[in-house]
Structures are given as C-alpha cells and as structure tokens.
Structure 1
Amino acid sequence: MNNANVIDFKPTERAETRILIYSHDSYGLGHLRRCRTIAEALVQNHPNTTVLIVSGSEIAGSFNNVPGIDVIKIPGIIKLENGDYASRAEGVALETTLSMRRKLIAKTAQVFDPHLFIVDKEPMGLRGEVEPTLVERQLAGCKTVLGLRDVMDDPQTLQEEWDDKGLIPKTASLFDEIWIYGPRDFWNPLEGIDVPPHMAAKTHHVGFINRHRDPQSQSLNIALPDHFILVTAGGGGDGDDIMLDVLAARTAHDDLPPMVLLAGPFMPPAKRQAVHAQAQPFEDITVIDFVAEPEVLMRRADAVVGMCGYNTFCEILSYDKPALYLPRTTPRMEQWVRADRAAALGLASMISSENAADPDKMAAALRALETALPPSQTGFPLEMTGLDEIAKRTENLLSGMPA
C-alpha cells in the first residue's frame, strides 16, 4: 500500500494534550473570537497543549498568531436573513458545501486525534455536520464538551428548534459535559427545555468569559479623542443601522460627546460607504473599519454602544464600561433577551430600534451614558470566571477526576 499521501503525526511531534474546537458559523465574529479566547486560556493554563480550531469564518487568519493555536478553514456558509443558509462560493450547491465540510471536519479529527473536543453552541453542528465526528471521537476515547453562551434564544423558539432536530437525546448522550458561559443567576439558556436528569447533572454554569487582557498592540496609529463613546457593530454584517442612528442623532444635536465608530469587517461596502459619508462632516467622530484587537478601543472608551452580542457584552463587563444596547431581534431573540436582562439588573441601558431611529430619543440615550454607572457599581455580582473554570474542568476531564 502506498502511504505517501497519508498524513500522520510522529509520536515526537505530538503535543502532550490536543484539543479540537469546532465553530460552525461562517458569518460574524462572535463565535470565532469566543473560541480563540478559550483556546488562548487553555494553552496558557496547560503546558504542552495544542489547540486546533475548525471554522468557516472568512477572517479566521486575521488575528494575531498565538503559539500552540491554529485554525483549519472549512468552506464558508452564508446565513440569510430568514435564518436559512447558502454556500459562500457562488455556483456551489449548499449540499455540496455541507458534504465537503462534513468530510473535512471528520478527517481533521481523525488525523489530529484530540483528547478533548469542544463544540461551540450548535450541538450537532450546522445541519448535523459534526454528529458523525462526535460519535467517532467518543468511541476513540476522546472527551466531548458542548459550550453554550449565556442566552441562546427565547425559550419557546429554542424548545421547538431542539425538538425538530432531535437534539435533546443526542446532546445528552454524545457530550461528557455541557458548559454554559454565564452565571446561573443571570440566565439559563436551557430554560423551558425538557432536559433529562442525566443531562442536567453534567451541565455547568462556568461564568462569563473574561475579555480583559493586554492587547499585543497598545496603539492603533489612529488619533483618538481623550474621551469618547465607542459604537461597535461586532462583525458589522447587520450593524449599519446602529451607526446611522447614532449619526442621525449627532446631526440633530451638536452637544453630544465625541464618538468612535467601529464598523466591522462584514459590513457591506455600500453601507460602509454610507456610514463614512454621514460621519465625514464631524471632526469629533472617527470611523474605523476593523481592528484585530478591539480591546485597545474598549479600554480607552468612556462608554460603549453596541448590539449586545455575547462577545461585546463580555468585553463591556470585563472593562467595566457603562453601556447602551440596541439589540437585534432577528433571526434570533438572543440579543434582545440578554439586553433586557442586563437592563433589568441595572448593568446597562437599552433602547429599541424604533426609539433609536428617533434622533431626539437616541441623543437622550447617548447623553445618559455620561452619568451612567459602570457595571461593577450596580450591585449585581459579576462572575467573570469562565476561563478559569474552563481550565479547571478541562484538567478534571483529561485527568479522569470526578467533576
């Protein structure tokens, strides 16, 4: 047999611990940035560890390299406004792309042979693409973990979705543990779902993921005001509305504080141009298209305006900034649920898209940020323990210790 084309690791080439992370989304920044943050913590806490992230993100290689972490890029999928998917490559059928993704995920896992396999958010992967790999890895003795953000969707919608996909029995049997990236008293993403006792027993709230870190680059080589409000749209694919609402408020009111607008890499060119054009007349407004380390901006900002995606929410808590959220409500209610809960606890303020479109109401909400309290002074205990707890649970899983 000719083995010239068979990839294999020599024993001396293997890291002591190998961890594989699967991130299904091809659009946006949240899933990939969360996975990279977890990977960095695992490498830092566990010597001789290699983490491989399987992702469909188009900008997977745009982040600073960290020793011990690498990314395998699989063919991209576009999420449509109605929640359906399409191949990113024009002229390629969705089923063809999904078939390629399934095979690449399975082959990567076979060759890498991880000790731990972490699946981010989608239990069986996009259209079930990771289920065969989960079964195979479990049979090979690999530990398996499902990581869920603090909020998934509104309970009724999530119950219907998981029932339709048959996810409850599969999740209960194919994962050794389920990690919820948030504290128990903030929100339970499985609320309303009929979770069997043995699945509940291996579900653990680890706390929010701390995003406070020293960026590798302390400067963006961009002149920034001494004091400013940061307006961020995450990946930016659907973030132009928040930018244009803020700019409309600034057009109508000259007394608003300076602002820095971070558009994001996925904002469509025409919408990006519109944001730049609307901001151009104002010397106290700076528009930045993309930075690999938004922590540089977050730590310098006086307050933050965002859509309330999980990563942005954790960054704001980590840097202890007053915040105003403009959550989207489609295709999921996730952001709205998180923002509403945060507002109820006094951790931030929230404005609906209808009120944000009113320049006077938007301006009033922006002014209120100047006197708003940071999250640490609201009385709600901030459990930013996610990375430490993940490191501990990983050590216990891999050592065979009881949870």
Structure 2
Amino acid sequence: MKRRLEDARILMYSHDTFGLGHLRRCRTIAHSLVGDYRGLNVLIISGATIAGAFDYRARVDFVTVPSVIKLKDGEYTSMAGHVDLQDTLKMRQAIIRQTAENFQPDIFIVDKEPLGLKGEVEETLQYLKARGTTLVLGMRDVMDAPHLLEAEWKKSNMLQKIDQFYDTVWVYGPPDFYDPLIGLDVPSGVRRKMDFVGFLQRSVPQGTKSEHVPDEDYILVTTGGGGDGADLVRDVVNAYEQDQSLQHKTLIVLGPYMPARERTELVERSNKIACLEVIEFDNRMEELIDGAKAVVAMGGYNTYCEILSFDKPALIIPRTRPREEQLIRAQRASELGLIDMLLPEESADPMLLSAALKRLTHRAPPSQSGEENMRLEGLVHISRIVGDWLDDRESYPPLSIVAE
C-alpha cells in the first residue's frame, strides 16, 4: 500500500566536500519517501562529482553545484584548480537559491551543515522560511568531539542560527546511542526541536546485480569515498604480506576519491597476493556488504548503518583527525558489543591486524549483542513525520490510500 500525494515536493541539500556520506544518506531517505508516497518528488542538491554514478528511483533527481574539496587539514579548495574558491562558493550559493525558487519545495532537508558550506544555504533558508516551507536539519548520530564542534560552530553562532531557521532537527540515531550535541550549551529551543529518529536502515536495491560480488566467502574492506582511506588499505595489505597464513578471500574497495598515486601503489601490491581483489568503486555497496562474511571499515555513518542492517561482523578502524566522529561512533559501538575496533596505531602493526582479521570471520553478528542496540527505525519514523506534515497542508487535499 502507498499513500497518494498531489505534487508534493521535497528539496534536499548535500554539500559533499569529502567522501560520499552526505549524498548516500540523502539518497537513502529520498528513495524511502518516494517508495511510500505516490506523487512525491524529491530533488537533491549535491556537490559530489560522481552524483551521476548512482542509480535513482523514479521521482528522485539531483542538481549538482561546482565541487569543493575538503583537504586533510580541514581547509577547502575548488575542485577546478583555475577557479577561485570564493567564486566557486558564489556560484554554488546562486544555484542553490535559484533551485529553491524554481522547485518551490514543501519541505527543505539540509544534511549536517546547518548553514551549508561556508554559509552558502543561509540566504535560501531565509527565503524558504518566509514562504512557509518546513525546514529540517538532519544530523548524524555523532557530529564530532564536543570541543571541536563547539570551536567550529561558535564562530558562526550556529546553535542560535539553528533555533532561528529550523522547524525540527532529525538526529539519525537513537537517543541512547549518542547525543550529537553533548557538551555544548544548547538553547532550549533547539533541544525541543531535536527528534532522535533512529539509524537509517539499508536494503539491497532492486535491478541489475553487482559484477563484483565474489563467488566464495569474502571479507569486504571499504573506505567509503576513499579520500582518506589509503592508510586502512595499506595496513590490510601489510598484514597479508607479513602473515602468509592469512588466506581468506578479501575484496577491497578503494573508493573513487583515493589519490591516484596511492591507488596505483595499493593495486600493484595487492595484485601480488592471490586472495586479495581490488576494485575502485561500486555504486551498489549495499550488495557487497550484504554478501560479505565480515566487513573491515573506517566506520562512517552510512557504512555503520549497513553493517547493522545486514547484521555483519565488523572490524572498525576509525579515522581520528581532523574529526573524531568515526572514533566516537566506533568506541560507543564497541562498548555495546556491536563491533570490534582497532585504533589506527594498532592497525599499523601487521601481526596485530592479522590476528584481528582471523578473529573477525568467527565473530558473532551485531544482533547477538541485543536487538535493542540496533534501532534501525529511522526511515519508518521519517516517513510517518513527513506524511503527517503533508497531510496538514491546507493547499492540498487529504491523503488517500491506493493499492500498489
């Protein structure tokens, strides 16, 4: 059963300066909503250079803005080296505003960055708020270490801006896992708007199958976008080189943003080890994770949701700088018995990592730590909330039930 809407519109913003996490999260929510509501259209504004490499369901589309890259030191630069960063930001801001004016959304969902990259969404928020659009800020379960987040947000008076613009704040995790604003002096208005919807469950998409799924049991090693994933892959390759008894089939996904020099080095070394297979990218990561015996990852939000959704034993080796988001998530998940964890300095020891990889194939899946720790109801809750909002629109007739 689906509920029918008449030309309801949701606009989503995904700044995408490093990796694929923001776009993949927006796409997951969009696909879930159009699956639940006929007549609903979703448009995603994305800064990802490979936004077009993914498949989109009917009534989900995307608009790209000029790409900006976040460097390892936390600074930004234009993807087009000959274009000044400020000029790129002006173009992005203009495209975002023009898209909002043309699309006229009922709901605007902003992923993670309350005012967008360098404040590029603030003007659009002002415009949409004045015309009565429902404004939603979506937060990961973990944003960053409190002292880092506070230092970043204080410069822009961010918490007050959230209170000023947004009607609600969705936290994409359960309240007993982690509070993304812990340690900050949060205005009472923002606290009242926070809704912990739960983790976003993933499923294997319908359609053509991935050609990269091995025919035998395999460990999957994934770095997400790959821009900062070379150390993880290098550690895995080192472990296989140093311990000849490590023979389990392993599929390594480098990620599309891994620098070319590091990619070439790791491919050359991996090709000398029979049980290692390396690919650059697959737009059906859900299928690769679903088919895996176990997963080794850095523990970004999307990969963590996929580990829970497909109930896979996992070893998380988190990034610890410039953000501590992955570290905090991995520590909390390890405390709950959901995953195993190694710090990067531990992973750099080939024999220590080899031992962890051998244990991983015999590890119990996350569900055995207790179903109460999974909490994968985020998409269901979001769908219910959106349906209630769209029901209340005065300019549209009530929702009706129609058969599939």
Distance 2:8 2:360 in 1: 46
Equivalent residue, structure 2, for 1:239: 229
Equivalent residue, structure 2, for 1:253: 243
Structure 1: which 4+ aligned runs deviate by more than 3 Å? none
Deviates more, 1:290-299 or 1:106-115: 290-299
Q: Is the 8 A contact 2:204 2:290 kept in 1?
A: no
| 1:144 matched to 2:123 | no
- Describe the SS at the equivalent of 2:52: coil
Q: Is the 8 A contact 1:151 1:337 kept in 2?
A: yes
- Describe the SS at the equivalent of 1:127: helix
- Name the aligned partner's letter for residue 263 of structure 1: L
In the TM superposition, residue 275 of structure 1 has moved relative to its aligned partner by 1.2
Taking the TM superposition and a 5 Å limit, the aligned residue runs for 1:336-347 are: 336-347=327-338
Q: Is the 8 A contact 1:15 1:50 kept in 2?
A: no
- Name the aligned partner's letter for residue 254 of structure 1: Q
Q: Is the 8 A contact 2:31 2:56 kept in 1?
A: no
| 1:393 matched to 2:385 | yes
In the TM superposition, residue 351 of structure 1 has moved relative to its aligned partner by 0.6
Equivalent residue, structure 2, for 1:6: none
**Number of equivalent positions:** 387
In the TM superposition, residue 26 of structure 1 has moved relative to its aligned partner by 3.0
- Name the aligned partner's letter for residue 379 of structure 2: L
Equivalent residue, structure 1, for 2:23: 32
Deviates more, 1:288-297 or 1:53-62: 288-297
Q: Residues 223 and 174 (structure 1 numbering): CA distance in 2 closer, same or farther, change over 3 Å?
A: closer
Distance 1:359 1:197 in 2: 49
Equivalent residue, structure 2, for 1:41: 32
Distance 1:296 1:158 in 2: 34
CA distances 1:369-392 after superposition (whole Å, capped 9, x unpaired): 022110000125111001111111
Taking the TM superposition and a 5 Å limit, the aligned residue runs for 1:91-110 are: 91-110=82-101
Equivalent residue, structure 1, for 2:171: 180
Taking the TM superposition and a 5 Å limit, the aligned residue runs for 1:249-288 are: 249-256=239-246, 257-288=248-279
- Specify which of 311, 319, 326 is matched with residue 335 of structure 1: 326
- Name the aligned partner's letter for residue 129 of structure 2: Q
Amino-acid identity (%): 45
Equivalent residue, structure 2, for 1:303: 294
In the TM superposition, residue 15 of structure 1 has moved relative to its aligned partner by 5.8
Structure 2 stretches of 5 or more lacking a match? Answer: 394-404
In the TM superposition, residue 218 of structure 1 has moved relative to its aligned partner by 2.5
Distance 2:52 2:334 in 1: 35
Q: Is the 8 A contact 1:244 1:278 kept in 2?
A: no
- Name the aligned partner's letter for residue 120 of structure 1: D
Distance 1:146 1:197 in 2: 16
- Describe the SS at the equivalent of 2:48: coil
Distance 2:210 2:166 in 1: 42
Distance 1:223 1:320 in 2: 18
Q: Is the 8 A contact 1:345 1:380 kept in 2?
A: no
Structure 1 stretches of 5 or more lacking a match? Answer: 1-13
Equivalent residue, structure 2, for 1:7: none
In the TM superposition, residue 25 of structure 1 has moved relative to its aligned partner by 1.6
Equivalent residue, structure 2, for 1:319: 310
CA distances 1:304-342 after superposition (whole Å, capped 9, x unpaired): 000000011001110000100110111100000001111
In the TM superposition, residue 249 of structure 1 has moved relative to its aligned partner by 0.5
- Name the aligned partner's letter for residue 277 of structure 1: E
TM-score by length of structure 1 reads 0.93
Distance 2:152 2:187 in 1: 17
